[in-house]
């Protein structure tokens, strides 16, 4: 595994390179679409067109979702100081307070409740990945990793 891949291994065992937010094309496309919509004053078009196309009544909400999507981008993995979860991460704080490289070095990760917030996205993959990191090491686990998102 390259040093870059090791950097993309999050404290929790997820692989940042698989995350939708990490250098995501989705966020770039959302930004581009917002720029184009603004350039052509689509808000005015939607306002007028909503008399004929009912869905355009929801243009404001669409813009809010588009703006939120554009803000999702993450350029710095958590192990290099990034925000990872868009909020303070208990896992990151815990690992750093224990002076560990990641949860795989902690004997309590299999029972740790700090992983619960990841379940809607990743199920039990973080813990499964942590076991793989323990088995193969930080330099060789990634080819065995589970999917970041449980719906993929």
Burial of 105 (0-12, 13-18, 19+ CB in 10 A): middle
Of 35, 70, 105, the last residue of a domain is 70
Tell me: do 133 and 97 sit in the same domain: yes
Same domain as 46, residue 9? no
Residues 14 and 48 in one domain: no
- pTM listed for this prediction: 0.84
- 66 and 84 share one domain: no
pLDDT tens figures, 57-73: 999 999 999 999 999 98
| 69 SS3 class | helix
Residue with tokens 């990760």: 109
Taking the C-alpha atoms of residue 43 and residue 38, their distance in angstroms, rounded to an integer, is 8
Same domain? 108 vs 33? no
> pLDDT digit string (tens) for 71-119?
998 889 988 888 777 778 999 999 999 999 999 999 999 999 999 999 9
- Identify whether residues 10 and 49 lie together within a single domain: no
For residues 93 and 110, membership in a common domain is answered with: yes
Q: Does some domain include residue 135?
A: yes
Residue 106 lies in a domain: yes
Whether 5 shows a pLDDT value over 90: the answer reads: no
Domain that holds residue 65: 25-70
By the 10 Å C-beta count (0-12 exposed, 13-18 middle, 19+ buried), 11 is classed as buried
Q: Mind listing the pLDDT tens digit for each residue in 17-72?
A: 899 888 889 999 999 999 999 999 999 999 999 999 999 999 999 999 999 999 99
| Whether 65 and 106 share a structural domain | no
| pLDDT score, position 2 | 61
For the chain, what is the domain count?
2
What is the structure's pLDDT at 38? Answer: 98
Residue 118 lies in a domain: yes
Residue-level pLDDT at 41 = 98
Claim to verify: residue 86 and residue 139 sit in the same structural domain: yes
Give a yes or no: residue 64 inside a domain.
Answer: yes
């Amino acid at each position: 595994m390259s040093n870059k891949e090791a950097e993309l291994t999050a404290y929790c065992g997820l692989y940042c390179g698989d995350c939708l937010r990490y250098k995501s094309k989705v966020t770039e496309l959302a930004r581009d679409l917002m720029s184009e919509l603004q350039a052509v004053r689509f808000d005015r078009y939607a306002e007028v067109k909503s008399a004929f196309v009912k869905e355009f009544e929801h243009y404001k909400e669409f813009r809010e979702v588009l703006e939120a999507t554009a803000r999702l981008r993450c350029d710095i993995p958590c192990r290099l100081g990034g925000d990872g979860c868009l909020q303070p991460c208990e896992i990151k704080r815990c690992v750093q307070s224990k002076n560990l490289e990641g949860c795989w070095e902690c004997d309590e990760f299999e029972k740790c409740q700090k992983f619960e917030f990841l379940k809607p996205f990743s199920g039990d993959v973080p813990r499964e990945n942590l076991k793989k990191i323990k088995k193969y090491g930080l330099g060789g686990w990634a080819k065995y990793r589970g999917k970041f998102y449980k719906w993929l």
